[in-house]
Chain A
Amino acid sequence: DQQVKQNSPSLSVQEGRISILNCDYTNSMFDYFLWYKKYPAEGPTFLISISSIKDKNEDGRFTVFLNKSAKHLSLHIVPSQPGDSAVYFCAAHPKTGANNLFFGTGTRLTVIP
């Protein structure tokens, strides 16, 4: 049962434009949502997170929006740069129990110069 879903396997965006990556979840018992970025032959690296009590978190060019009623979050990258080309994983952290994360299947972002 996939509790975190990323329905777009890939996204292509022109350099300088906005990239919007989407993620949906089914479990209302998540307290943190995270985005990880993965380059080929490397492990995922943490990018940005948001607490379930907030609806927006911004860090430089990266902003994550959370819509709890829709169980939906999105990552906005503005402006997009070629170095942002990577696979982006959405992940969710449960309120109780162990510290493990539930991951989506990832979206491959390609930023075209």
Chain B
Amino acid sequence: DSGVTQTPKHLITATGQRVTLRCSPRSGDLSVYWYQQSLDQGLQFLIQYYNGEERAKGNILERFSAQQFPDLHSELNLSSLELGDSALYFCASSVPSGANTGELFFGEGSRLTVL
């Protein structure tokens, strides 16, 4: 158990709809990262938040947005969903800044299926 909690674990929805994925980082971790893993693909970095502020942006579509709340949990909002958005969405958190070796702790992922 990594200590990172993601909900829901599975989600099935239709094209054009909007969904929200939720993540609670490990206790004490200030950074939250969102990654997308499509079929047979690596993990693609979407966005990072640090203590409520956006820190870095990867290949995140304009239809997607995220935020980190004062209690440090984060939500990833996916709108106008397309078939190609079907993927595993992982949230990860990392230790507070210090020895910045890049180690991330991942949740179990939210599997989104768009029909």
Contacts and interface: CB of A to CB of B under 8 A. Distances in A.
A93 B107 contact: no
Contacts of B101: 32, 34, 49, 51, 93
Interface in B38-82: 40-45, 48, 55-56, 58
Interface string A80-95: 0000000001011100
Contacts of B108: 41-43
B88 to A, nearest CB: 9
Contact of A89 (B40, B42, B56): B42
Interface stretch (A14-22, A58-66, A70-78, A100-108): A100-108
Contacts of A36: 106
B21 interface: no
A78 B103 CA distance: 23
B109 interface: yes
Nearest to B2: A43
A7 interface: no
A42 B101 CA distance: 23
B45 to A, nearest CB: 5
27 contacts: A4-B42, A32-B102, A34-B101, A42-B108, A43-B2, A43-B107, A43-B109, A44-B43, A44-B90, A46-B105, A49-B101, A49-B103, A51-B101, A93-B100, A93-B101, A93-B102, A97-B56, A98-B55, A99-B33, A99-B48, A99-B56, A100-B58, A101-B104, A102-B45, A103-B45, A105-B40, A105-B41
Closest 9 CB pairs of A and B: A93-B102, A98-B56, A43-B106, A105-B42, A103-B43, A103-B42, A100-B45, A32-B102, A44-B106
Given A45-B106, A46-B104, A103-B44, 11 more contacts: A2-B42, A9-B40, A34-B103, A36-B106, A45-B2, A46-B105, A51-B101, A93-B101, A99-B55, A103-B43, A106-B42
